[in-house]
Chains A and B, each alone.
Chain A
Amino acid sequence: MPLTLLEPEIVPDCFRPKTYAIGEAIRRVEEMQLQALEQDSRTSVLRFKKTEAQQNVLNLSGLKDGWDSYAAPPPNRTAIQKALHILDLLDMPDLLGVRILPSAEGGVGICFVRGDRYADLECSNDGEVFGIRHIGRQAPTLLPTDGSDISIVDAIREIRDHING
């Protein structure tokens, strides 16, 4: 039974209708899934960090137009979906230093900071993904991607090397 990474684009669970089933059995299944999720992220730091990052991305969906007191648009579904997907591409230890922020241009920023080293990946509302990295006040280096997993994983690898010095 082969296992493969090659699969059609995945819709994150959070954007799927919860279920169409209405019986008691599905409620029990969902209850067990929630309990399992809670238990699994209770002790492990890495599991907790991933859940926290996912929650922080989802929380951005509640932002309104002009959330920054200017005219910033809130992150849309495309940006949130892409950001959640990128969290899945990160190596578990990468999640330790992750911060999730909304972008003033519209989108979600996944930021990595260690000391004066900074990098981020920005998922824009129009579906683009690009990043930057810099040290202190140095001019930032652009990390372009074509939005594919391969190019995003390359950018993540560059970010990891940059952050870890």
Chain B
Amino acid sequence: MHYKKSPIVEALIDIRTEARPDLTFEGLNSIAKSLVDEYPRVETRYLSEGKFSFGTESTATAEQKPFAIMFFSSDNKQIFQARKDGITFSRLAPYQTWSMLEEETKRLWQIYRDFTHTIKITRLATRYINQFVFPGTIIEPEEYLKTFAQLSRDLPKELRNIGPFSLRLPIPQSDLEGMLVINQALGSTAMPGTVPIVLDLDLYIENLAITEDKTLWDKLKLLRERKNLYFEACITDRTRELIS
């Protein structure tokens, strides 16, 4: 189903691999030469290995290690992350189509694979982060969503109002030997008089040992179908009207 006013703020495909022991982070920089035309801006993403101590006095100590090279398209709508252990390709709003996402991932994967001589794929994921903007300052979530945290109706009405929330539901996908994580939360309040809700569907298969690209793309098709099934099942017709 393709929606005219797509709520997708980020769609991504993530491929994780068994990292080659001799591949260095600095060595990954050479990939930039192949991408400079479409992805002219490059940033290094660091992983903080640190500790925050929270309380009345919050302090932070962190050791930063390079984790990924992020390649940004000139309009910042497409971002390719290359890591020692794989790639992630993200498309930000406005979302285009699945085939665009898939084709560009295939192209970038080929560049990465040729460069790193990666042999084994260990994890595959697709993730769609949607942000719905529902009209009104107070809404009944059930009118828009079919998957939602419910408070007991045994409580009096005045005690059932809920404020900012976040919900995380990991749902095993036994037939795929994978996991779907539904994250739902109150979104950023960019528009007054609306209630924004984020619906994040993160579907992945771990413990893979794929060596053939064909197997990889076949698995990805299955993930796409499953992701669509959950998305459609999570929303009501009223939401469909809003995004159509």
Contact = CB atoms under 8 A, between A and B. Distances in A.
A94 B196 CA distance: 15
Nearest to A32: B168
Classify the secondary structure of B's interface with A: strand
11 contacts: A2-B140, A2-B161, A3-B163, A4-B137, A5-B138, A10-B164, A40-B181, A45-B88, A46-B129, A93-B92, A149-B189
B82 interface: no
Given A48-B45, A92-B10, A1 B93 contact: no
Interface string A74-111: 00000010000000111111001100000000000000
A137 interface: no
Interface of B: 9-10, 12, 14, 45, 48, 52, 54-62, 70, 76, 79, 81, 88, 90, 92-93, 125, 127, 129, 131, 137-142, 150-151, 160-165, 168, 181, 183, 186-192, 195, 197, 200, 202
Nearest to A88: B188
A45 B213 CA distance: 25
A19 to B, nearest CB: 10
B192 A150 contact: yes
Contact of B56 (A15, A59, A62, A90): A15
A28 interface: no
* Chain A, interface SS category: helix
Q: Which 7 A-B residue pairs are closest in the complex by CB-CB distance?
A: A7-B163, A91-B190, A4-B138, A43-B14, A1-B160, A45-B90, A14-B54
B52 A14 contact: yes
Contacts of B90: 44-46
A47 B10 CA distance: 10
Interface string A1-43: 1111111001001111110000000000000000010011001
Nearest to A93: B92
Contact of B161 (A4, A40, A90): A4
Nearest to A50: B188
Contacts of A62: 59-61
Interface string A124-165: 000000000000000000000000011001001100000000
A50 B12 CA distance: 17
